[in-house]
A and B are shown apart, each in its own frame.
Chain A
C-alpha cells in the first residue's frame, strides 16, 4: 500500500516533515511525496483513516490556496497518478487501481513521468496520443499492447503500464542530508581575532570529521558573526580547491577576517560549509611535486591579507597597444604557467635608432613614472630635467620618436593617448620619455639597461 501527497501551497520541507511523521520510508518526486504505507494500519487504522490523518496533517501546514491532495492505492504509480489527477482524498481498494485510473487525463501521465524523469531524450507520446484523440488513461490502457508497441515502441508499453497503475520500480526511500553547519553562542562577547581562532578550531574539527566521513570537501565557507551591535558580519570564502583540513580551514577564515575584521565584539559564531564530493587523484611520477593546495591557499591568503586581494596572483600581459599593460589572474599551481610562450613573458626588447646603428637592449620600467620637465624644439625633446636622485638631467644628444599609441576611447577614465620618445643623454644613459598628449605632462618611464 502506498500513499501519495501533493500540496502546491505547502513548502516541500513541510510535506517531507509530514511524511517523516508517518513513516521513514518515503520518496520525494518533485512536488510529490510517496509514502510506503505498508504496516501503518496498526498505527493509523484503515487506509481511509490513514488518508484522513495525512490530509489533516497537511492541512495544518496549509496557508490557503490549492487544497492538499492525498491518494492511497496498492501501487505507488496509481497513488501518484491519482494524487496528481484528483482533488482531495482518494482511497482505492487493492485491485481497483486500473479502474480508478480510467477517467484521469492523459496529461497526468506525462506530468508524472516528467517528475520521475523516466524519459531519456525527447518524447512525443503525449502529442501523439492527443492527436489520436486519446484523452484518458483508460482509453490508452484499453489499446492492445502489441499495437502500442508497434507504434510507440518499448517506451510506449512502459507508458501504458503506468497508465494501468503498474509500478516501474520500487520506492527509493529518502535519506536525510545533514548540513555541514556549526555554531557557538558565547556567554561573553569576544573581541579580536586571537580568541576567535580557538572557537573556529572547535567548530571546524567536528565539521572536518563529518566531511571526511561523508567523503566530501569544502568548496565555500560561509562565516557569520553576530555582533554585540545585533548586526551580523558575514563573509563568504570560496576555496581554490576542495579541502577539509581543519587547521587550513581555520587559518583561511582567520586570514580573511584579518583583511575584513568585524567592527564590534562577537556574540555568536556560525560557520556553514558548501560541500562537494571528494575526488580521487593520482599523482604522477613524471611531473615535479607540487605544493599541497592547502599550503598554496594559505600562502595566497596570507599574501592577500598583507598586500590586498587585487595585488596577488599571476601577471598576464594584456592584448592591447597600451604599453606595459597587464592584469592579475588568480594564482594557480600549474607548471605550464611559468613557461615563456611566444615571448609573451620575455623581457621587453627596445630598439634604439641612432641613425646608423641600432642597439637592442632591455627596458627597465620605473615602478611609478617619474614626472619630468622637458624642453621641446620643433616638436622634439632636447633637454630633460628631473629632481629624482640617480636620474641624469641635461641635454638630449639623440632621440627617436614619437611612437604614438592611443585607445580605449570608449571607456570613461581609461582612454589613453600618448607619445613615447627614446632619448640618449650625454652620459650615455638612454631613457624612455612619455608625454600624455592633450595634458602635456612628461614622465621618465624607464631606463635602458
Chain B
C-alpha cells in the first residue's frame, strides 16, 4: 500500500487532539502502516513517547510540528490573524532548525502562546519540509497564490508539498479544488494526509469535550467550534487510497515524502558540557585526582575497602564516560559552598563513594554497605541521577540562576512536568463540558477520586449508586466514559520542581525551550522521563525547608554575641558530635516536634518503641513509617524483634546476609533489589527494572511480567508457596512506596542534625523554624508552645526592635518577627525594620536591670559605673585599655568589669511618625496595634488602636491647627506628641489580648488558652497532658486541649487520630470510626475538645482511646489555630 499518514496530532497538542502518542502508534501498527508522522501544535512534547512507542511497535517514527504563523509580524490591534503550517523534519539539521524556531516562538511569548512571522523562517528551513494546506487560500494579505509563492521561496520547491485533506465537508472540497489549481500553477506536488486528531472514531466525543474545554464553553453552546463529524480519525491506508482515488499522485507522494524523512530521534546531537580541566588533564584523570584528595579527607584512615570501592566506581565512570557529569555536579556543589549555601546530595547518589569523596553526599556508603548498583549500572545504560538538596527559597533560586548564567540562557533549562488530567480535574472539566450543575460535578469528582484508588473490581455504576446517581442515566454514562478516557491525557506543561538540564552549546537546538510561569525560568518541552529516554542528563536541584532551617540555625548560633564579649565557638554541620546521648534521649521520648522527618504523629508513636540508640536506628526510623513497610506489614515484626518479643527468622537462609541488619525484615529498597538478585537470580539491572516497573502506573503489564520472572527465579531456588508469596508481597508493597536506604540515610543525617540543634541550641533552632514556615507538620503556634516548654523565652513583636524575620535577642530569647503579623505586606514589614529608616533618635526603655554577667549580682550598691581612660579590670577576656567612648560597670563582688550596652534606640517616636515614614496601611496598623507591636511607643494595645485610627486619617491642616484649643483641659502639646492625648478606651482584658494575638499573628507568646481554664478543668477531673504518662494504663481519664492535628489515614480502617495541645504538652487521641460518625461535626469543627476515654500505654507511647468527645465551651474559637488536618 502506497499511503503513509504524514499528519497526525496527539494530545500533546494540548486540547487540540484526543489521543496519546502511544494510542496513535498502536492504531497505526494495527492498520499496517510502516511509518507515521506526528505533528503536534507548536511543540514536540509528545515526540519522545511517540518515538519510543513507534520503535517498540516496529514503525518508523516521523517527526514534525504544526507551526503557528502570523500574517503580520507587527500586527496592529485586531489585525492579527494566525494560521498553521505543518512541517516535517527530514534531517538532524532540520530537527535543530525546528527546535530553534519553536524556542524563538515560545521564549518571547507568554506561556501557552506564541507565533512566528513568515520572514522569521528564513535561514531555518534546511532539513524541513513544508506542507501548506487550506490556509493558503485564506492568506488574503498575500493575494491569490502569494503565500504559496512565499513558502516555495523560503523552503524551496523541492521541500514544499500542498496538503489535501478530505473530511467530507462541502467547503473543504471547494478549497481542495483551489489548492489543486494552485499546486499546478506553482508546480508543487500534492500530498494527501488525514489531518488526524484522534486514533479512532470512538474518541470523537472526547475530542469535542477537549474543544469545549479549550473554548471555555459547555458542549451545547460550542456550536460549530466542535467537529462537524468524526472523520479526523486514523483511517486504514486502503480507505485513504479510495478517498483520494481521483488524486492517486497525492497518495503516492506520501511514500516518496516519507522516504525522504531520514531523521531519527536516536541522536539529537546532545552533548553534556565539558568541564574545563587544567592543562594536561583529561576529565577522568582530573576526577581521579580530586576524588583521591577528597577520599583521603573523608576516610580517615583511607582503608582498603573504601579504596577498592572508589577504584571500582571510577573504573565504571571511566567506562561509561561520565567523568564530566560528576565534575559538573561537583562544580555546582562547590558554588554552593562558596556562597555559603548548604547542600547535600540525596537519593541514589548517596550509594556512591565517589560522590561521598567529592563532598556531594554526606553519607559514607562503604561504612553503611550501600548498594552501588542502585546508583550506577553498566547494564541499565542510563545516566546516573544525582539529586541535590538545597535550602528552599532564595538560596535555591541563586543556585538555579547560577546554572543559567554559567551555561547561558539557551544552554540550561528546567525539565518540564507534564500535568495530566487526573480524577478530580478530569471530573470537573468533563462535568463542565456536559453542563452538569456544580453540586453534581462536586459529587462526581469526589466519587471519581475515590474510584481512582479503589479496587478495580469495584464497578463504576456501584460507586455512582453509592452517591445516589443513576449509572444508567445517559449523561452520567457519558460522563463516566469521558472521564475514563480523559485520564492521564496531558493538560499543560508545568515546571519540574528541580530538574535542570545543561548542554554543551545551544540547548535550544536539541529540544525546544519555552518560558515557565515563574519569571526568569525556562523549561524544555520534555519531562524528566522523556529527557532520560532521549539521553539528556538532568541534575535535580531540590528545595528542602529543613536545609534552610539548618543553615539559618548555624548562622544564628555562629553570629550570636552574648553581650559579654564571649562568642561561642563556630559550629557547622560537620562539627556536630556523632551519637550525642541528649539527642537519643530526646528521640526516645518522642520529643520531636520540629525535628526533620520524625515529627509526625506516626513517627512519634514509633520512636519510644524503637528506642533509637545509634545513627542506623534513626535511618530505620525514617524508613519504617512509610506506606510501603506499613502496607507490607513490616513495622510490627521489626519492632517486636527489636524488643525481643519475637525471634529473628529468615524466610530463606540466603536472605540472612541481606536482612541481618534489619532483623530479618526488609525495610529498604536496596534490600528488595538484593533479595531479587539472591533468591530469584536477577541481575542488578533486572532488579532495578523491577523497582521501576512497580513505580509507574503505566507499566502494570511490565510489572506482571517481572513478577512472573521473580517467581520463576525463586522456584528455581526452591522457594515456593507461602515463603514466595511473603517475599512477593514485601517486594511489591514497598517497591512503590519504600525508601532507598541511601535516601533514608541522607534524611536521617538531617533528622539527627535538627534533633541536635533542638536539644542544644533550641532558641536558634526554633527561630530558624519559625522563619521558614510553612514547613513540617506543625503550626507555628505549636512550635512556639513546644519551644516554651523547652525553656525558650519569647518576646512579642515590637515595631521598634523586631525585624522581618524572628531573631534571637542578646539574652537568648526569641524576638518574633514582623513576618508573623497577619496581613502585613512583606515590603511594608521590611520598611518598618529597614535599618536606613531606623535612624530616629528616640530611645525607649532601659537596657534592662543592672546585673553582673559573671556572678549575677544585681545589688546596686555593689555595682559601680567606671568611666574615663585607664586599664580595664577584666577578669576574663582581652584585657587592655578601656574604650573611653563606652560605658563600663564594675562588680565589687567578683571584680568583673564589663561594657554596658548603650540604651536601645527606637526607630520611631510616635505612631504618626511610623505611618509617615513607612506608609503602612490602616488595616496593617490596626493589626500591629492589636497585637501590642506599638506598645513600645508608649501605648497599651487599646490606646495604640485609638492613635492609629487618627494617624491613618489625615484630618487636614485646618483641623490640626485648631485641635489643641478644642481639647478638654486645654493641655499644651508639643509638635511631636500633640496628638498623644490619653485614650478614653478601656484596656484589653487578658482574654481579649489572647484573641488578638491569635487573630493577629496566629500564635501567642503568652499563656496557653487552656491555662485560663485549668482550675476549672482540674475540678472536673481533666488531666493535663503532662500527667497522662503517670496515669495507669487502662484507666478511664479525661483530658482537654486545642486540636493541633486531625488525621484519618487511608490505612487506618476509618480510625481518626487527634493531637490535643494544652499548656503542659500534647496528648494523642484515637477515635473509633463509630464515634467519629456520631460526633463528626464536633470532632471536625471544634477548636477545643474535651475527651474522655481509656488510657493506653504501649511501650511508653501514651494515647487515649476516646469514648466521649465534647466541645470545650467558653473558649473563643478565635483564640485558636487552624489545625493541620489530613483526611
Contact = CB atoms under 8 A, between A and B. Distances in A.
Contacts of A147: 950, 981, 984
Contact of A133 (B167, B204, B966, B992): B992
A93 B955 CA distance: 39
A150 B950 contact: yes
Interface stretch (B226-234, B851-859, B1090-1098): B226-234
Interface stretch (B39-47, B58-66, B941-949): B941-949
Contacts of A143: 984
A54 B434 CA distance: 59
B942 A412 contact: no
A403 B169 contact: yes
B507 interface: no
B226 A407 contact: yes
A153 B926 CA distance: 17
A148 to B, nearest CB: 10
A202 to B, nearest CB: 47
28 contacts: A128-B949, A131-B926, A131-B945, A132-B945, A133-B985, A133-B987, A133-B992, A134-B985, A142-B984, A144-B968, A144-B984, A146-B963, A146-B966, A147-B981, A150-B950, A152-B949, A319-B223, A320-B224, A321-B228, A351-B170, A358-B174, A403-B169, A404-B167, A409-B208, A410-B220, A410-B434, A410-B475, A411-B220
Given A403-B170, A406-B230, A151 B985 contact: no
B230 A410 contact: no
B869 interface: no
Interface string A348-361: 00010100001000
Interface string B127-168: 000000000000000000000000000000000000000011
A293 interface: no
Interface string B828-869: 000000000000000000000000000000000000000000
B880 to A, nearest CB: 55
Nearest to B954: A150
Contacts of A417: 229
A429 interface: no
Contacts of A62: none
A404 B223 CA distance: 16
Contacts of B926: 131
Given A131-B930, A320-B224, 8 more contacts: A133-B942, A150-B949, A150-B959, A321-B224, A404-B167, A405-B229, A407-B226, A407-B228
A69 to B, nearest CB: 28
Tell me if B's interface is mostly helix, strand, loop or mixed: helix
Given A404-B168, A405-B228, A410-B434, A318 B955 contact: no
Interface string B978-1008: 0001001111100010000000000000000
- Chain B, interface size category, equals 35 or more
A402 interface: yes
Q: Which 5 A-B pairs have the closest CB atoms?
A: A319-B223, A151-B949, A404-B168, A412-B474, A321-B228
B873 interface: no
A402 B475 contact: no
Interface in A302-320: 318-320
B953 interface: yes
B942 A132 contact: yes
B980 to A, nearest CB: 13
A125 to B, nearest CB: 11
A353 B173 contact: yes
A409 B963 CA distance: 76
Contacts of A403: 168-170
Contacts of B930: 131
A151 B984 contact: no
B219 interface: yes
Contact of A410 (B205, B942, B955): B205
B585 to A, nearest CB: 47
Contacts of B981: 147
Nearest to A418: B229
A144 B946 CA distance: 13
Interface in A394-410: 400-410
B955 A150 contact: yes
Contacts of A150: 949-950, 953, 955, 959
B223 A318 contact: yes
Q: Which of B474, B949, B966, B986 has the most CB of A within 10 A?
A: B949
Given A142-B984, A320-B224, A351-B170, A404 B229 contact: yes
A445 B955 CA distance: 80
A429 B987 CA distance: 98
Interface string B281-297: 00000000000000000
Nearest to B946: A132
A402 B173 contact: no
B49 interface: no
A132 B985 contact: yes
B356 to A, nearest CB: 59
Interface in B204-250: 204-205, 208, 219-220, 223-224, 226, 228-231
A151 B953 contact: yes
Contacts of A133: 942, 985-988, 992
A151 B224 contact: no
B219 A410 contact: yes
A83 to B, nearest CB: 28
B478 interface: yes
Nearest to B983: A132
A315 to B, nearest CB: 17
Nearest to B984: A143
Nearest to B225: A319
Contacts of A146: 963, 966
B950 A406 contact: no
Contacts of B230: 406
B197 to A, nearest CB: 15
Contacts of A132: 942, 945-946, 985
Contacts of A358: 174
Nearest to A152: B949
B205 A409 contact: yes
A400 B168 CA distance: 10
Q: Which of A143, A150, A404 has the most CB of B within 10 A?
A: A150
Contacts of A321: 224, 226, 228-229
B223 A406 contact: no
Contacts of B475: 410, 412
B727 to A, nearest CB: 50
A412 B169 CA distance: 25
A147 B946 CA distance: 9
Nearest to B473: A412
Nearest to B482: A410
Contacts of B228: 321, 404-407
Interface in A165-205: none
Interface string B16-30: 000000000000000
B950 A151 contact: yes
A146 to B, nearest CB: 6
A370 B938 CA distance: 95
A255 B103 CA distance: 69
Contacts of B205: 409-410
Nearest to A407: B226
Contacts of B950: 147, 150-151
Contacts of B170: 351, 403
Nearest to B474: A412
Contacts of B208: 409
B168 A402 contact: yes
A152 B930 CA distance: 18
Contacts of A318: 223
A402 B168 CA distance: 6
A144 B969 CA distance: 13
Contacts of B966: 146
A122 B493 CA distance: 42
Nearest to A406: B229
Q: Which of A134, A400, A404, A407 has the most CB of B within 10 A?
A: A407
A410 B984 CA distance: 69
A164 to B, nearest CB: 16
A249 B173 CA distance: 56
